[in-house]
Structure 1
Amino acid sequence: MYAPERQQEILRIARESGRVDVLSLADTFQVTAETVRRDLKALDRAGLVRRVHGGAIPAGRLDFEPDLAERESTAADEKDRIARAALAELPAEGSVILDAGSTIARLAAGLPLESGLTLVTHALPVAARLADHPAIDLHLVGGRVRHRTRAAVDAWALRAYGEIRADVAFLGTNGFGADHGLTTPDLAEAAVKRAVIGAARRVVLLADSAKHGQEHFARFGDLADIDLLITDRGLAPDSVAAIEAAGTDVITV
């Protein structure tokens, strides 16, 4: 089977099943996993699928949301570098909001023991990493907990963020870009992210470059709402220039 024929069949399977994985496709077509990855890369470039950890989903699935384990293992090195760079953006004292997300959790894990910040989060994994931190004044925002992200959402969370004003918020996203702004698959989570933006004097977005240009179901802001983007060097220089021209500072690591 030639590559175009195989890619057409992969696209058909993805549309019927909602997702394909590399190892299963390699077995089905009796080719190497690397060959399948090249096929998925070609389909991704054509805008027909969106690559995710271990496989791909049809491009039309704007509501797809990976689970926590998948997020932790995707772009792990890039997320580690982004989280380390974000430490330099912490205030010496004052208040900080930490959003949900695997990169934000890495930032939480790296907070120095002497950090005496007031810290607010609605993310259970973030709170769990900081609960025994000796110097931090930790505030956990409540609400309905989404199993997919272990983040609190809905009215309680929104009300809590409406009552505070923090020095800086560190925000995560599933997708970002000049055309569609900041997006995530879930409306309730988007509402909380929007509230976090409104609750902070300064907003820092932590997002690996693979999320650039990705579009999801629920929109929660514009790049203009972000003071600083910390991403990896995979973000193209022209994209960096366009984001900075719109008023958002960019750090690549």
Structure 2
Amino acid sequence: MYAEERQRLIVERARHDGRVEVTTLAAELDVTPETIRRDLTMLERHGQLRRVHGGAIPVERFGFEPALAHRATMLAEEKERIATAALAEVPESGAILLDAGTTTGHLAGLLPTDRELTVVTNGLAIAVQLAPHPHINLFLIGGHVRTRTQATVGDWTRAPLADTCVDVAFMGTNGISVERGLTTPDTTEAAVKRCMMASARRVAVLADHTKFSLDHFACFGHLDEVDVVISDSGLDSTLADDLAAAGPRVVRV
């Protein structure tokens, strides 16, 4: 395979999966990791990818936020493993908060329905999923609905959170890094996420490995405010150690 063909394949893979990893590409394309790193450097110079720890992401991710339906199809198996591990953080009784998102949506589908549990969410899809269960005391926070993420945002969303106290907030994020913490492209969602974290005794961040070493426009939390980060085994172990050194317990599944 010529370099141009390999690089075109790398860009297509990055746009489809949201991220590419050096080691995975090297194994699949039967070349050395050094060759892949040179390809990524060339593609970054051409403005098609941006290098991140262990791989690269398409530049479109920095100016484009995928819709919920599209994100739901990405890394479904990894998100299911993350959600399954997050069940260990759910209290036997009490209240939890589920941030709008696809990984938190997987957790919603796994919640036990044979015991009383209060669930607060700003995610329309999550509320629809949980509404039929009589043992779940469901609170859907109102506000302006962002069509792209199906999350409620704005003053109407933040106001009730100021008077809410939950045991655990399960948060999603578009980006997470040691330097910038938790970030997301939209300022209105960032404002709601900050209120969610402030309302919780404990904070659990659920994020697949493609979210790490990414910084988006709006910061909504720092790592020393997070109790546990749960990700999949694709998260680099060295990066996981760096994250843990900044505060939270890190779980890879």
Q: Alpha-carbon deviation of 1:84?
A: 0.7
Tell me how far apart the structure 2 counterparts of residues 218 and 21 of structure 1 sit (CA, whole Å): 23
2:206 alignment counterpart: 206
Tell me how far apart the structure 1 counterparts of residues 115 and 179 of structure 2 sit (CA, whole Å): 38
Q: Alpha-carbon deviation of 1:45?
A: 9.1
SS at match of 2:115: coil
2:40 alignment counterpart: 43
1:186 alignment counterpart: 186
1:25 alignment counterpart: none
Q: Alpha-carbon deviation of 1:115?
A: 3.0
Tell me how far apart the structure 2 counterparts of residues 46 and 244 of structure 1 sit (CA, whole Å): 31
Superposed, 1:120-139 pairs within 5 Å as 120-139=120-139
Tell me how far apart the structure 2 counterparts of residues 113 and 128 of structure 1 sit (CA, whole Å): 15
Tell me how far apart the structure 1 counterparts of residues 86 and 6 of structure 2 sit (CA, whole Å): 42
Tell me how far apart the structure 1 counterparts of residues 66 and 199 of structure 2 sit (CA, whole Å): 27
Over aligned residue pairs, what C-alpha RMSD do you find?
3.0
Tell me how far apart the structure 2 counterparts of residues 246 and 62 of structure 1 sit (CA, whole Å): 25
Deviation readout 1:29-63 (Å, 9 max, x if unpaired): xxxxx98xx98994389655159xxxx7426x523
1:140 alignment counterpart: 140
Deviation readout 1:186-221 (Å, 9 max, x if unpaired): 110111111101010100000011111112111111
2:158 alignment counterpart: 158
- TM-score computed with the length of structure 1 as normaliser: 0.81
In structure 2, the CA distance between the partners of 1:116 and 1:42, relative to structure 1 (3 Å rule), is: farther
Q: Which runs of 5+ in 2 are unaligned?
A: 17-27, 30-34, 52-56
SS at match of 1:244: helix
Number of aligned residue pairs: 228
Tell me how far apart the structure 2 counterparts of residues 117 and 208 of structure 1 sit (CA, whole Å): 26
Tell me how far apart the structure 1 counterparts of residues 114 and 38 of structure 2 sit (CA, whole Å): 45
Deviation readout 1:140-198 (Å, 9 max, x if unpaired): 10000000000000001010111111111000001101012111111101111111010
Q: Provide the identity percentage.
A: 47
In structure 2, the CA distance between the partners of 1:151 and 1:198, relative to structure 1 (3 Å rule), is: same
In structure 2, the CA distance between the partners of 1:220 and 1:41, relative to structure 1 (3 Å rule), is: farther
The answer to which of 226-235 and 242-251 deviates more is: 242-251
SS at match of 1:79: helix
